């Protein structure tokens, strides 16, 4: 998968030399950033440099803001400035590097020749270039290496990054002198397919429309009741639309999941059986080599996200609805204010919160704290859930307060006379009356939240820690499927993920249908 | 007998106040701990932890509800905790003003509830000591009962209003922030809002921007077309399901129910391919069709539910009077179902107006962007220096106001519709 060559039209990368303030000290490292056009790894920035005599180690620092000295280089998600990657120069691979586990290099090559003019080649098969030995994931190049090429991970598509190499001598000294900062940006377009051959799609849609019309006609004419049969005519347009634009795509998606269709070979995909499903659970796509291909991680977070959000929605919704319905002064005004999170268009709310939670945003401003809410793993998870709670609680408050208003008041009066305590009044009076409304609402809420795309996509894009082709820390299943399909261009694999998601949703949906008794179809 | 009852049912009104506000104070102190910890302020964290403990003890000592049993041995603990809450929160304020960051509104907000609860606890000590010891006389109790009766409602109302005030601020904080951002000069996030520098430049810029108007126009066209097209399809379908009992009716209804649970991600890729095949990417038609289909099930279920409430006899009578099917449709059913039609329209309109994922996938041409994709692109464009936060904020305010007004006006229908959608499908 990694060896596939680029569809070069899908991407381009601009690399430009920003500053070159080589003044004194060691000769500047010759550096160059480039892109290699590998579609499924299209967030990769390839980076090469000449080595310097007497170096013990090279630190590669990168940041998403320009920096002029090393202490300013922080990449998304790192709270402490410092090197984001190391390359050790050593003839003895047993050397103990400092904190190798933070190292996230994927691929790196060294050679005893100068850097080539273009870095976009295939270093893997080039006899001049060798892969370094690795020590706990840390690449070690021998001292005789002249130049090094490595792929920088974790570059989010479209995000400009600034990169610098620093050589560290035997005493662990390194210097800002001669710091050269490169800027690189992946301008990879979303991998969307070229014009496909649509004949099969036309045929399939034709067949569906034809057979449905035929079925309707047959049913119409064999229908025992002349009166009732015109119903077919009324529902036919809606059924046709639903069949061609929902059921057919779903079936087509399931078919795609058994093929190796991708943006590159669209239309020529072959049937590969269950390969995609195996890939899903295997470590074939475990690019950063931490033994975790991401499926179970994403799955766990999806569950945390779904249950956490819905539980908080219900809790806050019931609490605030009871408050609203407990004879409050200015009920209409409060209701209107509490309506706002629901009323403001969702994408606007999400972006508002993203701005507020930005490291230099308002939340840190008024709390006088300094936390990168969207860049630190646990904070990012907390933040996306928090924002979704903000967006959803008001809907639950509204619906619950509607349900509460329908509970007869005389029961409470009777309970008051009997001296029933507040807890028991809630537990044995209010809750049983609310349950018929709350249970289906919460199940539907779970289905919605499970499928909710734009909150996470617009807040964090799945990050932090989005390494090529692997889900980020806050990715949930549906946001990651989007990445696989439209950024990596792996339609088959994306479809396989979708089918797995679909199977999970069936659990929620069955529960929902059982609870609502098949949606009261009789009604 | 009467005497015993009076003393038994009486709690000093100040204690009732402390009970109500101790819960609020507990929650805010919890936040105080969290915020101090987030600031990395160790002294602040330990002070607020101590306040939290004292506060919890008070909540534990005081009975939550009447009738309360006087508990002599707890009186000392009560006063000590109240005093320490007052002292600790004062101490917290001094500590914060000593740090170079200085006091913020947040600090006052965090310290004030425990200050008030603590001070009230100490102030009420004399009166409550008699109550705790069970030494209150009957006349005291009777007088206290009358006072309690007068004040309890006011105290609980105030407590509820305080809770709602916090909730309300929580709810409108992001919109407030956006308004401030849209009024402050410059396009950066680190705004420095003040009334004297407030400017309408972002609004003016958006108003004069062609991009904004073309996005708005796209959104309007797509949403209106979706509403009309979706209704044209959904109305007869809902009518058919409601009025006719044909074979396969239940199956059909069930289909309309389960498609709502299909994950959008599942059909995104095939959708994209089909739309591409028909040349419908970057067109209004493609989006309109996709949105109509997405909204179709809910529309059908909503209107079917409403049609079920219109008596069939009405139509039978019209038919006897010689109305054709079309006339029944236009003269009877449609006028009667106008409320349901209006709600359904509102739903499909808002769904199309706010949709992001499909629009993002189908549209690549900047001029064809709908508002969600367009606005999102203003703050997530490739170059870091290219984010237009101020302009985004101004545009968001312009867009949100009509939508929020719609919600406020039609909230009852929207809630009912959503609940109907949830409970019935």
pLDDT of residue A78: 42
Domain match, B145 and B217 both? no
* Cβ atoms of B70 and B134 closer than 8 Å: yes
Closest C-alpha to A513, from A452, A436, A444: A444
A7 touches chain B (CB under 8 A): no
Q: Do B237 and A239 touch (CB under 8 A)?
A: yes
Whether B217 is covered by a domain: the verdict is: yes
Q: Is the pTM of this model over 0.90?
A: no
- Compare CB distances from B248 to A219, A395, A519 and report the shortest one's residue: A219
Is B255 within a domain?
A: yes
State the count of interchain CB pairs (< 8 A) between A and B.
333
Residue A233: what are its φ and ψ, rounded to 5°? Answer: -65, -35
Q: Residue B421: which pLDDT band, with cuts at 50, 70 and 90?
A: low
Contacts B243 to A, Cβ<8 Å: 231
**Spans of all domains in chain A:** 8-186, 199-275, 295-489
What is the share, in percent, of chain B residues with pLDDT greater than 90? 14
In a domain, B322, yes or no: yes
Say whether B354 and A347 touch across the interface (CB within 8 A).
yes
Query: Per residue in B29-88, pLDDT tens?
Result: 999 999 888 888 888 899 999 999 999 988 888 766 545 566 677 788 888 888 999 999
Alpha carbon distance B152, B144 (integer Å)? 11
Q: What is the pLDDT of residue A115?
A: 79
Cα radius of gyration (chain B): 31
DSSP bridge pairs for A147: A50, A111
User: A366 vs B104: CB contact, 8 Å cut-off?
Assistant: yes
Instruction: Work out the pLDDT band at A113, boundaries 50, 70, 90.
Output: confident
Nearest residue, CB atoms, B255 vs list A242, A342, A365: A242
Considering the domain architecture, whether residues B261 and B376 belong to the same structural domain is answered as: yes
- Angle at the Cα of A333 (from A330 to A336), degrees rounded to 5? 145
Q: Which CATH number fits domain A8-186: 2.40.50, 3.30.460, 2.60.40, 3.30.450?
A: 2.60.40
Give residue A355's Cα distance to chain centre: 19
| Higher-scoring residue by pLDDT: B32, A53 | B32
Task: Indicate which CATH number applies to the domain containing B310.
Answer: 1.10.3720.10
Evaluate if residue A23 carries a pLDDT over 50: no
Among B183, B211, B243, give the residue marking a domain's end. Answer: B183
Nearest residue to B280 (alpha-carbon basis) of A216, A281, A244 = A244
Is pLDDT above 70 for A322?
yes
Tell which wins on pLDDT, A18 or A377: A377
B267–A238 C-beta distance less than 8 A:
no
Angle at A72 between CA A66 and CA A73, to 5 degrees: 70
CA distance B335 to chain A (A): 19
The percentage of residues in chain A with a pLDDT greater than 90, rounded to a whole number, is 8
B198 falls within a domain: no
* pLDDT, tens only, B114-166: 999 889 888 888 877 777 777 777 777 788 888 888 888 888 899 899 999 99
User: Do B290 and B395 share a domain, yes or no?
Assistant: yes
Q: Is the pLDDT of residue A389 over 90?
A: yes
Residue-level pLDDT at B60: 84
CB nearest A485 (choices: B161, B268, B376): B268
Please check whether residue A241 is in contact with residue B233, taking contact to mean a CB–CB distance below 8 angstroms.
yes
Sign of the alpha-carbon torsion through A486, A488, A491, A496:
negative
CA pseudo-torsion sign A137, A138, A142, A148: positive
Residues of B in contact with A335 (CB under 8 A): 411
Q: Is A231 on the interface with B (CB under 8 A)?
A: yes
Residues of A with Cβ-Cβ distance to B181 under 8 angstroms: 355
- Is A467's pLDDT higher than 80? no
CA separation, residue A295 to residues A121, A218, A385, A496, B279 (Å): 31, 47, 20, 12, 35
pLDDT in tens, A245-259: 888 888 888 888 888
Q: Does the pLDDT at position A37 exceed 70?
A: no
Chain B residue with minimum CA distance to A333: B168
**Together in a domain, B217 and B303:** yes
Predicted pLDDT at B168: 92
- Determine what percent of chain A is predicted with pLDDT higher than 70: 71
B189 lies in some domain: no
String of DSSP letters for B381-403: -SSGGG--HHHHHHHHHHHHHHH
Confidence of residue A314 (pLDDT cuts 50, 70, 90): very high
B4-8, B148-152, B309-313: least confidently modelled range? B4-8
pLDDT (tens digit, 9 = 90+) per residue, A160-184? 677 777 777 777 676 666 677 777 6
What's the rounded Cα separation, in Å, for the pair B225 and A301?
38
Q: What's the confidence (pLDDT) of residue A194?
A: 57
Of B38, B244, B266, the CB nearest to A253: B266
Which chain B positions have a beta carbon within 8 Å of A371's beta carbon?
Answer: 38
> Is B142 found in the same domain as B244?
no
Distance (Å) from the alpha carbon of A447 to chain B's nearest alpha carbon:
7
- Please indicate, yes or no, whether residues B99 and B215 belong to a single structural domain of this protein: no
- Residue-number span of the structural domain to which B143 is assigned: 2-183
Chain A closest-CA separation from residue B78 CA (Å): 23
Cβ separation A198–B277 shorter than 8 A: yes
- What does DSSP assign to residue B121? H
The first and second tokens of residue A450, run together, are: 């499970």
A307 touches chain B (CB under 8 A): no
| Residue B136 shares a structural domain with residue B220 | no
Per the listing, tokens 């690019």 go with: A287
Separation in Å, CA of A231 to nearest CA in chain B: 5
Query: Are residues B88 and B211 part of one domain?
Result: no
Per-residue confidence (pLDDT) for residue B2, from 0 to 100: 53
Q: Looking at residue A312, what is its pLDDT?
A: 94
Report pLDDT for B181: 87
| pLDDT category of residue A383 using cuts at 50, 70 and 90 | very high
Distance (Å, whole) CA A296 – CA A290: 13
Location of structure tokens 């069709």: B289
Stretch 39-68 of chain A: residues touching chain B, C-beta under 8 Å: 64-65
User: B253 to chain A: nearest residue by CA?
Assistant: A521
The model's pLDDT over B223-247, given as tens digits with 9 standing for 90+, comes to 999 999 999 999 889 888 888 888 8
Domain-located, residue B193: no
Q: Which of B64, B191, B234 lies closest to A238 in CB terms?
A: B234
pLDDT averaged over every residue in chain B? 82
Residue A46 β-bridge partners: A34, A151
- Asked if residue B241 belongs to a domain, the reply is yes
Residue A158 touches partner B, C-beta closer than 8 Å: yes
Closest chain B residue to the Cα of A389, Cα to Cα: B171
A135: CB partners within 8 A, 6+ apart: A88, A93, A94, A95, A97, A100
Is residue A72's pLDDT more than 70?
A: no
- Facing A246 at nearest CB: one of B276, B293, B361: B293
To the nearest whole Å, the CA of B408 is away from the closest chain A CA by 6
Q: Contact B373/B222 with Cβ under 8 angstroms?
A: no
If asked whether residues B232 and B306 sit together in one domain, one would say yes
Q: Using the beta-carbon criterion (under 8 Å), do B305 and A437 form an inter-chain contact?
A: no
Statement: residue A291 has pLDDT above 70:
no
* Residue B227 DSSP SS3: helix
- Min Cα separation B7/chain A (Å): 18
With an 8 Å Cβ cutoff, is A435 touching chain B? no
How much is the pLDDT for A9?
27
Residue B196 lies in a domain: no
| Minimal C-alpha gap between B12 and chain A (Å) | 20
What topology is assigned to A295-489 in CATH? MetI-like fold (1.10.3720)
Confidence band of A309 (pLDDT split at 50, 70, 90): very high
Verify cis geometry, omega within 30 degrees of 0, for the bond prior to B67.
yes
DSSP string, A195-264: ----HHHHHHHHHHHHHHHHHHHHHHHH-S-TTGGGHHHHHHHHHHHHIIIIIHHHHHHHHHTTB---ST
**How far, in whole angstroms, is CA B3 from its chain's centroid?**
49
Number of structural domains found in chain B: 2
Q: Is A269 exposed, middle or buried (0-12, 13-18, 19+ CB in 10 A)?
A: middle
Query: What is the DSSP-derived secondary structure letter of residue A114?
Result: P
Most confident range, picked from A201-205, B272-276, B297-301 = B297-301
Please check whether residue A241 touches B, CB under 8 A: yes
Whether residues B136 and B240 fall in one domain:
no
3-state helix, strand, coil in chain A (%, to 5): 45, 15, 40
Phi/psi at A16 (5° precision): -135, 150
Q: Across the interface, which of A227, A353, A367 has its CB nearest the CB of B106?
A: A367
Are B234 and B369 members of one domain?
Answer: yes
Tell if the CB–CB gap between A323 and B160 is shorter than 8 Å: yes
Comparing A285-289, B59-63, B189-193, the range with the smallest average pLDDT is A285-289
Q: Quick one: pLDDT at residue A1?
A: 30
- Name the residue of chain B whose CA is nearest to A351's CA: B376
């Amino acid at each position: 998968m990694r060896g596939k060559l680029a569809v070069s039209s899908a991407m381009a990368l601009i690399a430009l030399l920003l500053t070159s303030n080589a003044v004194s000290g060691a000769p500047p490292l010759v550096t160059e950033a480039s892109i290699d056009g590998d579609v499924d790894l299209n967030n990769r920035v390839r980076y090469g440099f000449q080595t310097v005599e007497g170096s013990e180690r090279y630190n590669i620092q990168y940041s998403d803001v320009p920096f002029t000295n090393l202490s300013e280089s922080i990449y998304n998600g790192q709270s402490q400035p410092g090197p984001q990657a190391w390359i050790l120069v050593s003839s003895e691979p047993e050397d103990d590097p400092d904190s190798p586990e933070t190292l996230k290099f994927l691929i790196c090559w060294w050679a005893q020749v100068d850097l080539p003019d273009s870095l976009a080649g295939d270093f893997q098969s080039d006899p001049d270039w060798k892969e370094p030995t690795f020590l706990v994931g840390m690449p070690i190049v021998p001292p005789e290496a002249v130049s090094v090429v490595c792929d920088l991970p974790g570059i989010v598509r479209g995000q400009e990054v600034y990169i610098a190499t620093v050589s560290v001598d035997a005493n662990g000294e390194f210097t800002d002198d001669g710091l050269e900062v490169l800027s690189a940006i992946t301008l990879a377009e979303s991998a969307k397919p070229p014009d496909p051959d649509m004949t099969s799609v036309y045929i399939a849609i034709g067949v569906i429309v034809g057979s449905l019309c035929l079925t309707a006609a047959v049913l119409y004419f064999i229908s025992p009741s002349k009166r009732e049969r015109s119903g077919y005519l009324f529902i036919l347009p809606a059924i046709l639309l639903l069949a061609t634009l929902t059921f057919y795509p779903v079936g087509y998606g399931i078919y795609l999941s058994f093929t190796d269709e991708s943006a590159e070979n669209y239309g020529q995909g072959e049937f590969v059986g269950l390969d995609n499903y195996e890939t899903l659970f295997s470590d074939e796509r475990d690019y950063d080599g931490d033994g975790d291909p991401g499926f179970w991680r994403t799955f766990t977070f999806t569950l945390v996200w779904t249950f956490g959000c819905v539980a908080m929605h219900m809790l806050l919704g019931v609490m605030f609805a009871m408050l609203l319905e407990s004879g409050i002064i200015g009920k209409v005004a409060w209701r209107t204010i509490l309506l706002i999170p629901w009323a403001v268009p969702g994408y606007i709310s999400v972006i508002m919160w993203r701005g507020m939670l930005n490291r230099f945003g308002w939340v840190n401003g008024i709390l006088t704290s300094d936390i990168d809410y969207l860049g630190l793993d646990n904070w990012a998870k907390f933040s996306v859930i928090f924002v979704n709670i903000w967006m959803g609680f008001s809907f639950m408050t509204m619906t619950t307060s509607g349900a509460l208003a329908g509970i007869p008041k005389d029961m409470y009066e009777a309970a008051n006379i009997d001296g029933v305590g507040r807890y028991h009044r809630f537990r044995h009076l209010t809750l049983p009356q609310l349950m018929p409304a709350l249970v289906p609402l919460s199940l539907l809420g779970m289905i919605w939240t499970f499928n909710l795309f734009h909150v996470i996509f617009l807040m964090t894009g799945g990050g932090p820690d989005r390494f090529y082709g692997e889900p980020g820390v806050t990715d949930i299943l549906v946001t990651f499927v989007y990445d696989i399909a439209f950024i990596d261009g792996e339609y088959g694999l994306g479809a396989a993920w979708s089918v797995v998601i679909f199977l999970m949703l069936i659990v929620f949906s069955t529960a929902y249908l059982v609870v609502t008794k098949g949606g009261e179809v009789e009604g | 007998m009467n005497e015993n009852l009076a003393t038994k049912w009486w709690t000093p009104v100040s204690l009732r106040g402390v009970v109500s506000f101790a819960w609020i104070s507990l929650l805010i102190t919890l936040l105080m701990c969290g915020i101090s910890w987030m600031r990395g302020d160790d002294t602040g964290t330990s002070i607020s932890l101590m306040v939290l403990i004292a506060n919890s003890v008070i909540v534990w000592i005081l009975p939550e509800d009447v009738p309360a049993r006087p508990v002599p041995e707890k009186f000392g603990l009560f006063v000590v905790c109240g005093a320490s809450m007052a002292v600790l929160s004062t101490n917290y304020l001094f500590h914060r003003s000593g740090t170079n960051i200085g006091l913020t509104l947040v600090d006052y907000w965090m310290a004030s509830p425990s200050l008030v609860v603590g001070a009230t606890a100490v102030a009420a000590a004399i009166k409550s000591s008699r109550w705790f010891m069970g030494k209150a006389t009957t006349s005291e109790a009777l007088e206290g009962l009358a006072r309690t009766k007068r004040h309890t409602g006011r105290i609980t109302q105030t407590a509820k209003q305080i809770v709602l005030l916090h909730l309300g601020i929580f709810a409108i904080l992001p919109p407030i922030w956006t308004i401030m951002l849209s009024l402050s000069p410059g396009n950066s996030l680190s705004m420095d809002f003040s009334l004297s520098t407030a400017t309408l430049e972002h609004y003016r810029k958006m108003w004069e921007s062609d991009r904004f108007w073309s996005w708005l126009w796209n959104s309007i066209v797509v949403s209106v077309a979706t509403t009309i097209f979706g209704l044209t399809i959904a109305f007869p379908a809902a009518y058919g399901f409601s009025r006719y009992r044909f074979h396969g009716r239940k199956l059909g209804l069930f289909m309309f129910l389960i498609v709502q649970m299909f994950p959008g991600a599942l059909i995104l890729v095939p959708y994209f391919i089909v739309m591409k095949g028909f040349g419908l990417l970057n067109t209004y038609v493609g989006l309109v069709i996709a949105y109509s289909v997405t909204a179709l099930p809910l529309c059908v279920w909503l209107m079917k539910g409403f049609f079920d409430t219109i008596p069939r006899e009405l139509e039978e009578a019209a038919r006897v009077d010689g109305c054709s099917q079309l006339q029944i449709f236009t003269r009877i059913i449609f006028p009667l179902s106008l409320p349901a039609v209006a709600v359904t329209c509102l739903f499909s309109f808002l769904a199309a107006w706010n949709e992001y994922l499909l629009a993002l996938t189908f549209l690549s041409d900047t001029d064809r962007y709908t508002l969600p994709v367009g606005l999102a692109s203003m703050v997530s464009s490739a170059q870091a220096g290219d984010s237009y936060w101020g302009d985004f904020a101004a545009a968001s305010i312009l867009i949100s106001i009509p939508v929020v007004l719609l919600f406020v006006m039609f909230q009852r229908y929207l809630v009912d519709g959503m609940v109907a959608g949830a409970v019935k499908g």
